[in-house]
Structure 1
Amino acid sequence: MATETIDSEVGELLTELASLHDPKVRAINERHGDDHGVNLTQLRAVAKRLKTQQDLAVSLWATGDSAARLLALLICRPKAFTRGDLDAMLRDARVPKVHDWLVNYVVKKNPHADELRELWFADADPVVASAGWALTIERVAKRPEGLDLAVLLDVIAAQMKDAPDRSQWAMNHCLAQIGISHPKYRTRAVEIGERLEVLKDYPTPRDCTSPYAPTWIAEMVRRNNA
């Protein structure tokens, strides 16, 4: 697709996304640190119409607009990005929903995912580090071979209590996942959760599972054994 054509289409899509902006959706999203007001069902409908278009996705990402970036992540080819591309994109993705979709929809499907996990895991930037933890959670649940779960628990025990919010949430998820997926480490995972009390008082709707690791572990083990 010629550059002029892509630029024209990007402009048209930005106009379309602006027309889908809903102040009520924006207000809800802002509570979670997001800065767009497009209903995600409508956004997915636009992506379904466009289908996969890597060049267009790259151009949409370059606009810096959050709704455009979410659309880009839905129409891109995850395996087409280099390790350097994804590292740069992750470090530039400061909006929570964009960050989350980038990691889950793109990075996890890219052949450089584990290299990036190792690169990001101990990064000084807590937002970047949280992506490393998110990829580690994936490994803990699906491909634990090569991971030292005991060392992961040591790191969580030492750092989670005082970690920045994004990293703390990801560490807590990793703690719970270790306890859920690996019976050998379940008792220790629960002990760490009980001692640190991270998210113990997190407000949780009645029909949802608390993110407090001991409760989360117990509920998921119960369901898995039911």
Structure 2
Amino acid sequence: MSQIAFVSGASGLIGVQLLHQLFKNEAIDWVVSFGRRDLAFKHQKLVQVKVDFEQLEKLNLEDEIRKQNMGGDKQPLLKALNEASTSIIAFCALGTTIKKAGSKENFHRIDHDYVLNFARMTIRLGAKRFLYVSAIGADAQSSIQYNSVKGKVEDGLKRMDFDYVGLFQPSILLGERNESRPGEEIGKVVMKFVTFFGLFSKYKPIYDHQVAKAMVQKALNFKMTGNETISSSEMHKMTK
């Protein structure tokens, strides 16, 4: 049985680490990345598909792959996409900040609409398992927009027809970002100090590769079904 991973948000902090985890896992045969821009690296498992997240319902994945199949190396993937025994697992690490998005409206479009659009597309293409990078404090009723949007996405995913939905709620993320976030850097220092003394342990900062590793572990545990929320503390325990 072939196993294919669909990934969105692959250029981000967790997304990059997620690709590395999928590349080295022998259970995954192909990794299809969906993004607005090409990634800066290549791998024999990786197929990149450029998309408009506002029009994913129009995407013909097989046509896009055929355009890259000039040498015939993508033929096994095309065959696998049409086999009933193939397992497709979707991973979503899409996300931004209000500052980077430029407005609350743009932030909502990217962190909410694009995520749910991607989820609907993966169902149409045969995905049965969906794993999403949410955030600690996600709550649809929160007065904080960031937490509210994440919570609304979680609620939307729970209502979709997946066999399994994994909602990962990391605390402050550690890792090498492309852009500087001064407020987050201060938060990292403060929370490292506080958690050192055993206070607020659930807010202990977590590395990007730990989140990615936990996501792949859960994705390949086919005994797990239904909706599951994975806390930052649990991810720490899973990746010791």
- TM-score where L is the length of structure 2: 0.30
Larger relative contact order (Cα-Cα within 8 Å, sequence gap ≥ 6) = 2
**Structure with greater strand percent:** 2
- TM-score where L is the length of structure 1: 0.31
Larger radius of gyration: 1
